[in-house]
């Protein structure tokens, strides 16, 4: 396989070379690089091994603590995917965005022309400027959004920041201090705002049609990854290559690990941490608070999710 690919790549040193095997539209786009966003002189130098760095043809836009790392790792099981390893923060950080698209390209992995480049930056979903910026780069781009129960996401968001402080030997207030103000739910807590999915989704739908945004059910992906990943394969027009035996359940960890040509890997231990114990009355308030925004979200995307 590798030898064939190398040969093919050397035959067509031009990045415009269309792969000889049947290519669905997204892959054709990936291969020809004729996207409308290709502003002026983006430089792409082809390496002798036939790979090059290209703008992503799909982006995992969020949500923070939704399972974006798990999704990226699972998607990377597919040989036609090339994933940026770290979160690029191009569209949401001004100091990165001002570097321009050439800088963005330089952050991408080297890929073969038939591969789809993907990057994930969970903060994109909730950053108001990002949808328009992504649109200006490529209005045809396919977007991936992974969501989970908004209440669980709030607790996970808090837990992450709590552990970040612990690691630096810093104190961090209890979750109640963020969630409660004057005896009421503190809806100004940022983590709560990030879970108002309909609010952020509206910004994206101003620029992208719903069928260009695939929503992955993060709660399902963790419990039973394979069916969710098959849907992503289909959305990206990938050939069905990932199979059930790429996943195995690790009882000690309590969730799935990945098996990739004999190589096993589990997610970093910071994933799937236990959440803080929250007063049941407070938890019920959170569930109640999200009921209406969730309903709005379901109407917006024409689909329901099994959330509290
Ligand atoms: C191709 O070359 C690039 C640049 O040196 C390198 O980063 C990449 O790992 C190589 N890819 C393969 C598949 O050999
Ligand atoms: C959520 O935060 C944004 C700013 O990031 C703000 O414009 C919006 O009004 C907030 N939503 C609610 C319901 O508080
Ligand atoms: C699943 O995919 C792996 C490659 O990742 C392959 O070796 C294996 O034969 C496949 N299994 C089935 C049942 O298709
Ligand atoms: C399962 O998870 C435990 C705990 O993280 C780890 O030590 C072990 O290596 C894992 N086993 C397999 C087969 O992945």
Ligand 3 atom at shortest distance from the alpha carbon of 260: 5
pLDDT-flagged residues of the chain (< 70): 1-41, 269-272
CA distances from 81 to 58, 106, 115, 184, 239 (A): 10, 17, 5, 46, 11
Check whether 172 is labelled as a binding-site residue.
no
Interhelix angle 280-301/197-205, rounded to 10 degrees, is 20
Domains of the chain: total? 1
Substitution site in 193, 194, 201, 293 for ligand 2 pocket (most atoms within 8 Å of beta carbon): 193
Q: What value does the CA radius of gyration of the chain take, rounded to a whole number of Å?
A: 21
Ligand 1 atom at shortest distance from the alpha carbon of 49: 1
Predicted local confidence at residue 7, as pLDDT: 28
Predicted local confidence at residue 261, as pLDDT: 83
Q: What is the CATH number of the domain that holds 251?
A: 3.40.50.300
**pLDDT digit string (tens) for 79-115?**
999 999 999 999 999 999 999 999 999 999 999 999 9
The answer to whether position 165 is within a domain reads no
The answer to whether position 158 is within a domain reads no
Ligand 1 atom at shortest distance from the alpha carbon of 51: 1
Q: Is 49 in the pocket of ligand 1 (CB under 6 A)?
A: yes
Assign 3-state DSSP to the chain and report helix, strand, coil percentages, each to 5: 45, 15, 45
Q: Which two tokens stand for residue 66?
A: 């939704």
Query: In the Cβ-directed half-sphere of 223, how many Cα atoms lie within 13 Å?
Result: 7
The answer to whether position 155 is within a domain reads no
- The angle at the Cα of 172, spanning 168 to 174, to the nearest 5 degrees, equals 150
The answer to whether position 159 is within a domain reads no
Predicted local confidence at residue 34, as pLDDT: 41
The answer to whether position 35 is within a domain reads yes
Measure the CA–CA gap between 55 and 65, rounded to whole angstroms.
25
Check whether 168 is labelled as a binding-site residue.
no
Predicted local confidence at residue 274, as pLDDT: 78
Predicted local confidence at residue 277, as pLDDT: 85
The answer to whether position 288 is within a domain reads no
Predicted local confidence at residue 5, as pLDDT: 32
Answer yes or no: are the C-beta atoms of 95 and 155 closer than 8 Å: no
Full residue range of the structural domain in which residue 71 is found: 24-149+194-269
Please tell me the pTM assigned to this model: 0.86
Q: How far is the CA of 241 from the centre of ligand 1 (A)?
A: 23
The answer to whether position 189 is within a domain reads no
The answer to whether position 121 is within a domain reads yes
């Amino acid at each position: 396989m590798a030898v064939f690919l190398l040969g093919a790549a050397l035959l067509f040193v031009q990045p415009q070379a269309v792969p000889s095997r049947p290519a669905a539209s997204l892959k054709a786009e990936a291969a020809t690089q004729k996207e409308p966003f290709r502003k002026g002189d983006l430089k792409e130098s082809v390496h002798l091994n036939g790979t090059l760095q290209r703008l992503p043809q799909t982006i995992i836009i969020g949500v923070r603590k939704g399972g974006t790392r798990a999704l990226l790792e699972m998607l990377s099981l597919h040989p036609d995917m090339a994933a940026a390893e770290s979160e690029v923060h191009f569209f949401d950080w001004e100091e990165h965005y001002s570097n321009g698209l050439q800088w963005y390209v330089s952050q991408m992995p080297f890929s073969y022309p038939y591969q789809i480049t993907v990057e994930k930056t969970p903060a994109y979903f909730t950053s108001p400027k990002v949808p328009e910026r992504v649109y200006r780069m490529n209005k045809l781009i396919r977007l991936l959004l992974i969501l989970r129960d908004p209440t669980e996401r709030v607790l996970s968001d808090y837990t992450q920041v709590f552990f970040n402080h612990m690691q630096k030997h810093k104190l961090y207030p209890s979750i109640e201090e963020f969630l409660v103000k004057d005896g009421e739910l503190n809806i100004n807590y940022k983590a709560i705002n990030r879970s108002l999915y309909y609010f952020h989704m509206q910004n994206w739908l101003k620029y992208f049609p719903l069928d260009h945004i695939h929503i992955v059910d993060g709660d399902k992906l963790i419990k039973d990854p394979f069916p969710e990943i098959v849907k992503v394969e289909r959305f990206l027009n990938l050939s069905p290559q990932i199979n059930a035996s790429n996943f195995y359940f690790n009882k000690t960890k309590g969730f799935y690990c990945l098996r990739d040509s004999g190589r096993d890997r589990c997610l970093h231990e910071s994933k799937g941490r236990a959440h803080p114990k929250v007063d049941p009355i407070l938890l019920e308030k959170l569930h109640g608070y999200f009921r209406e925004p969730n309903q709005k979200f379901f109407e917006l995307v024409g689909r329901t999710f099994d959330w509290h």
